Amino acid sequence: MAKPSSGTVNPHSRTGVRIVVAGDQGTGKSSLIITAAADNFPVNVPPVLPPTRLPEDLYPDRVPITIIDTSSRAEDSDKVAEELQRADTVVLTYACDRPETLENLSIFWLPHLRKLEVKVPVIVVGCRLDLRDENQQVSLEQVMSPIMQQFREIETCIECSACRHIQVPEVFYYAQKAVLHPTAPLFDQESQTLKPRCVRALKRIFILCDHDRDGALSDAELNDFQVKCFNAPLQPSEIVGVKKVVQEKMSEGVNERGLTLTGFLFLHALFIEKGRLETTWTVLRKFGYNDDIKLADDLIPPVKRAPDQSVELTNDALDFLKAIFDAFDGDRDGMLRPRELEELFSTAPESPWIGIPYEDAAEKNAFGGLSLDAFLSEWALMTLLNPNFSVENLIYIGYPGDPSSAIRVTRRRRLDRKKQHSDRNVLQCFVFGPRKAGKSALLNSFIGRPYSESYNPTNEDRYGVNVVDISMENKKYVVLREIPGDGVRRLLSNKESLASCDIAVFVHDRSDESSWRTSSELLVEIASHGEDTGFEVPCLIVAAKDDLDSFPMAIQESTRVSQDMGVEAPIPISVKLGDFNGLFRKIVTAAEHPHLSIPETEAGRSRKQYHRLINRSLMAVSVGAAVVVVGLAAYRVYSARKNASG
């Protein structure tokens, strides 16, 4: 594998690199900049230079460079800080003939950058090399090694002389290179190894180039890879040379079929160690990766949808995921264990289901394994909550089709109500209720968790997803979203908060009158919000803890409220006894018929009656106006006939 061609016209997404030069007074900042730009050492140097542009064709990447000089005066410190915070990379200067300026880098400048939270590569430059005392010759590595150990943000150290034109262009070449081909995302300087995200990206690239899927890059595949990335073929002798270099270091890097993944990764580590980061970056960018070693945004199709539309995976995507599940279920037990799941996502930057909200959202077995239904449920949840992220991860694991063919945008919920039917495959159910009503227990049971008497309050929204089978042909993915009691106000602060809800469930502890009262108040609050915003949702009332005695007047109260608001009578369940009274199927049925089970408040009913009255009045006026018009027309006809006969 060769270095990228120098004739390439800006292969980067960057339109320019902004380099800020800072350091102690008299360390040669301005002289360095003028000499780089004009190729002449200045006789008279102004205190601070205006922004300076270097010629675009000065370096192979052909990315415009703007150099910002900074003042060393204390009164200009705020302006210097502002410039440093806008930098793509920082050049810190010291004078080779003044050791105290070198010490000041670690005493002041480098800590100052950290304090300002300037998280960009730093190039340390020793200027005025020609003035250093010949009796004090010390190697640059010896001087800088302790500082670089302490400050990992230092990318490169170099010494130069503007007066003698020694290594001046190299200073800004390294500065530009640190931005366009940064070390930090690729390589861990401390352990001297490729970083995990880099390894995962290179593994995906290797698999994409291994066309015959035999676990090695043949000579032909290696040559195709070279042409794709660098627009130049490899000669047979070069291929032999590459494999020889690998084989001398590690026997497992090459086998009878060609270059293995181990060998491929070794080559890239070798390039980076030798300072040829541009080689690895060229490969990554050719396969669509950005500076964070994630797929560039323009490779992920944008998803446009109204607030009351959702996004689901298509049958093509589901068929692909079923095949992937089978391919990675190594022991053929119908479950993906954590190790198998990690291998499945080993070509993504990291497993997407680590942490909230996915980690504990689906049903798992005792070993933490996912069944096919649970695996597809996780994908359904991810596509619902973050469709772009879902498509991105489909691409990482090898989805072969056009990414836009993996998802579909559903019909608007408002239209579903008019059509009196929803054809969604993924239904989102908001679960409301006061503390200790049994919301979390309901979610836990839905995803196969055992019942527990201990109470752990939920403080943030929590998700549970599973498959609900209505019939052989009708299988739905249901997402339960638990809304904590103190999260309702936050939810309703957004006008469109109910737009993404297919159905709402209101849980109360049927043995506790105050729990019922709070839950019914929540029902009225949600119904009112739906009426006010136009995003009404079907609602069900759930009487949890049916194993306990209900509070007095429970039946009369709940019957009255359900009748007044036009919803089903409360559904009694007992999570403790495992009796759910068909609740999950009832949730699906209510969501599939979104024109039913919509609660109506007193205010909403009055508003409808008012609108009905207005419409009737307008109708009466319209009919009256029509009669008058007909009457006038008839009078005109009568008059015309009378005049004609006269």
Confidence of residue 139 (pLDDT cuts 50, 70, 90): confident
- If asked whether residues 398 and 422 sit together in one domain, one would say no
Of the candidates 464, 467, 604, the one whose C-alpha atom is nearest the C-alpha of residue 530 is 604
- If asked whether residues 138 and 211 sit together in one domain, one would say no
Between CA 184 and CA 189 the distance in angstroms is: 8
Residues 6 or more apart whose Cβ sits within 8 Å of residue 184: 121, 152
Average pLDDT of the chain to the nearest whole number: 91
- Please say if the pLDDT value at position 3 is more than 90: no
Q: Residue 541: its pLDDT value, please?
A: 97
629, part of any domain: no
Q: Residue 616: its pLDDT value, please?
A: 62
Between CA 253 and CA 259 the distance in angstroms is: 6
Query: What are residue 513's DSSP bridge partners?
Result: none
Confidence of residue 9 (pLDDT cuts 50, 70, 90): very low
9, part of any domain: no
Contact present, 195 and 188 (Cβ < 8 Å): yes
Q: How much of the chain, in percent, has pLDDT values that exceed 90?
A: 80
Between CA 30 and CA 69 the distance in angstroms is: 7
Confidence of residue 14 (pLDDT cuts 50, 70, 90): confident
Of the candidates 558, 484, 498, the one whose C-alpha atom is nearest the C-alpha of residue 526 is 498
Estimate the share of the chain in helix, then strand, then coil, as percent rounded to the nearest 5: 45, 15, 40
Query: What are residue 542's DSSP bridge partners?
Result: 507, 571
Q: Dig out the tokens for 246 from the structure.
A: 């690998």
- If asked whether residues 353 and 397 sit together in one domain, one would say yes
Q: Residue 5: its pLDDT value, please?
A: 43
Q: Dig out the tokens for 620 from the structure.
A: 């009466």
Q: Residue 603: its pLDDT value, please?
A: 85
Q: How much of the chain, in percent, has pLDDT values that exceed 70?
A: 91
Between CA 146 and CA 256 the distance in angstroms is: 45
- The amino acid present at 242, given as its one-letter code, is V
- Please say if the pLDDT value at position 181 is more than 50: yes
Q: Residue 4: its pLDDT value, please?
A: 47
DSSP conformational letter for 64:
-
1, part of any domain: no
Confidence of residue 7 (pLDDT cuts 50, 70, 90): very low
- If asked whether residues 274 and 286 sit together in one domain, one would say yes
Q: Dig out the tokens for 343 from the structure.
A: 């291998």
Contact present, 334 and 372 (Cβ < 8 Å): yes
381, part of any domain: yes
326, part of any domain: yes
- Please say if the pLDDT value at position 324 is more than 90: yes
Between CA 609 and CA 603 the distance in angstroms is: 10
Confidence of residue 8 (pLDDT cuts 50, 70, 90): very low
Q: Residue 455: its pLDDT value, please?
A: 87
Query: What are residue 278's DSSP bridge partners?
Result: none
Q: Of the candidates 180, 215, 239, which is a domain's last residue? A: 180
- Please say if the pLDDT value at position 426 is more than 70: yes
Q: Of the candidates 603, 622, 641, which is a domain's last residue? A: 603
Residue with tokens 């990335």: 229
Residues 6 or more apart whose Cβ sits within 8 Å of residue 347: 200, 201, 203, 204, 207, 396, 397, 398
- If asked whether residues 447 and 588 sit together in one domain, one would say yes
Provide the total of helices (H) and of strands (E) in the chain, helices listed first.
22, 21
371, part of any domain: yes
- If asked whether residues 497 and 424 sit together in one domain, one would say yes
- If asked whether residues 540 and 453 sit together in one domain, one would say yes
The total of other beta-carbon atoms located within 10 Å of residue 470's CB is 13
> Which residue would you say has higher pLDDT here, 618 or 94?
94
- If asked whether residues 205 and 217 sit together in one domain, one would say yes
- If asked whether residues 254 and 273 sit together in one domain, one would say yes
Between CA 528 and CA 532 the distance in angstroms is: 6
Q: Residue 154: its pLDDT value, please?
A: 93
Reduce the secondary structure of 407-454 to three states and give it as a string.
EEECCCHHHHHHHCCCCCCEEEEEEECCCCCCHHHHHHHHCCCCCCCC
- Please say if the pLDDT value at position 54 is more than 50: yes
Give Cα 636 to chain centroid, integer Å.
Answer: 73
**What's the number of domains the chain is made of?**
4
List the domain range (segments joined by +) for residue 23: 17-180
* CATH number reported for the structural domain that contains residue 550 in this entry: 3.40.50.300
Residues 6 or more apart whose Cβ sits within 8 Å of residue 414: 308, 534
Mean pLDDT value across residues 475-495: 94
- Please say if the pLDDT value at position 479 is more than 50: yes
Q: Residue 6: its pLDDT value, please?
A: 40
Q: To 10 degrees, what angle do helices 372-385 and 315-328 make?
A: 130
Q: Residue 640: its pLDDT value, please?
A: 54
Q: Residue 100: its pLDDT value, please?
A: 95
- If asked whether residues 21 and 114 sit together in one domain, one would say yes
Contact present, 489 and 525 (Cβ < 8 Å): no
Q: pLDDT digit string (tens) for 328-351? A: 999 999 999 999 999 999 999 999
- Please say if the pLDDT value at position 634 is more than 60: no
Between CA 436 and CA 413 the distance in angstroms is: 32
Most confident of the ranges 50-64, 178-192, 575-589, 618-632 = 575-589
- If asked whether residues 38 and 157 sit together in one domain, one would say yes
Confidence of residue 458 (pLDDT cuts 50, 70, 90): confident
Give Cα 96 to chain centroid, integer Å.
Answer: 46
Mean pLDDT value across residues 228-238: 94
* CATH number reported for the structural domain that contains residue 263 in this entry: 1.10.238.10
613, part of any domain: no
7, part of any domain: no
- Please say if the pLDDT value at position 65 is more than 50: yes
Give me the torsion for CA of 47, 50, 54, 55, rounded to 10°: -130
Q: Of the candidates 409, 433, 463, which is a domain's last residue? A: 409
Q: Residue 622: its pLDDT value, please?
A: 60
Contact present, 498 and 413 (Cβ < 8 Å): no
- If asked whether residues 529 and 543 sit together in one domain, one would say yes
Output the furthest CA–CA distance in the chain (Å, rounded): 134
- Please say if the pLDDT value at position 27 is more than 50: yes
